[in-house]
Structure formats: C-alpha cells, structure tokens
Amino acid sequence: MIDRMINNMGNSLKIKEEDIPRCPKCGEFLVPNLRVDDTFVQKSHFFNVAKYEEFVRKAKDKKLVLLELGIGHNTPGIIRYLFENITYNYPFTNLIRINMNDSEVPTEIEKKSVSISEDIGKALGDILNYSCGKIEC
C-alpha cells in the first residue's frame, strides 16, 4: 500500500485520493492513530503498562539508563516528562535523549543526562562504532 502511494505520487509529492485506504464499513478515509484529538485509541498500546510500571518501581535504587529516541513536544506527557521525572527522582538513573530538534533537558537533570542533537540513525551508528572500538561487537 505504501509503495503504491509513493509510486503514484510522481513529482507532486501528494498522495492521490484513490490510494488512501478507506474503512470497509463506512467508506470514510482511514487516518493514522495519532494523539492529536479525542479520537486517539490508547488502550491497545498499553496492554503491558502494569509490567512497565513494576519494572520502573523496582529500578528506583538500581542503575538505570533511559534511552529516549526522537520524543519531542507533540505529546510530552507520554514519555518525555515521565523520563525526566524518573531521572530527577531516581538517584541512579540517567537519561540519554537523542533528538534533532528537541534534545534539551531541564536544568535540574542536566548532570544526569546526555543530550544529543543529531539524527537518530547517525547517533546510534556513532555510538555503535565507538563501542565496537572498546568491546567485541
């Protein structure tokens, strides 16, 4: 489906109406499940939330690194603010934030954070290349 959309775009960079999927019941255009309004369906995405919360609780007095990849300010309450809060409140937790445009961290956690303003793929590639010089990859 995506390949067809791209192939049919041509030079216009616009998706043709006939390539947009439709609901089989009502015929309306399907839209991505984005957190932009009250139509976002969250439940199915959080079926393991209890396990996650238990993991975070158990990590309070252990070394923990939170790796945040590309999380901006669209919906910061889901991951961004949560990770900042955990980093602030958990004494042995550090945050690594990789984001080309929104890599800043609050002053309160600067000393416990690494902020990388870089493309995620490049940043992770650089980390891997650096690590392979130190350990067997």
Instruction: Indicate the domain borders of the chain.
Output: 53-134
Nearest to 69, CA basis, from 36, 111, 113, 102: 102
User: pLDDT digit string (tens) for 87-103?
Assistant: 999 999 999 999 999 99
Q: What's residue 104's pLDDT?
A: 95
On whether the pTM is more than 0.75, the answer is no
Q: C-alpha distances in angstroms, 137 versus 67, 81, 88, 130?
A: 20, 33, 32, 11
CB 70 within 8 Å of CB 98: yes
- Strands ordered across the beta sheet of 93-98: 64-69, 93-98, 113-116
User: 129 pLDDT exceeds 90?
Assistant: no
Per-residue pLDDT of 30-85, as tens digits, reads 887 777 777 777 766 667 888 888 999 999 999 999 999 999 887 788 889 999 99
pLDDT at 45: 60
* CA 58, 63, 67, 72 torsion-angle sign: positive
Question: What band does 137 get if pLDDT is binned at 50, 70 and 90?
Answer: low
Distance separating alpha carbons of residues 100 and 116, to the nearest angstrom: 8
Helix (H, G, I), strand (E, B) or coil at 65: strand
**pLDDT (0 to 100) of residue 38:** 74
Q: Do residues 69 and 120 lie in contact, with contact meaning Cβ atoms separated by under 8 Å? A: yes
Residues 15-41, buried b or exposed e (16+ Cβ, 10 A)?
eeeeeeeeeeeeeeeeeeeeeeeeeee
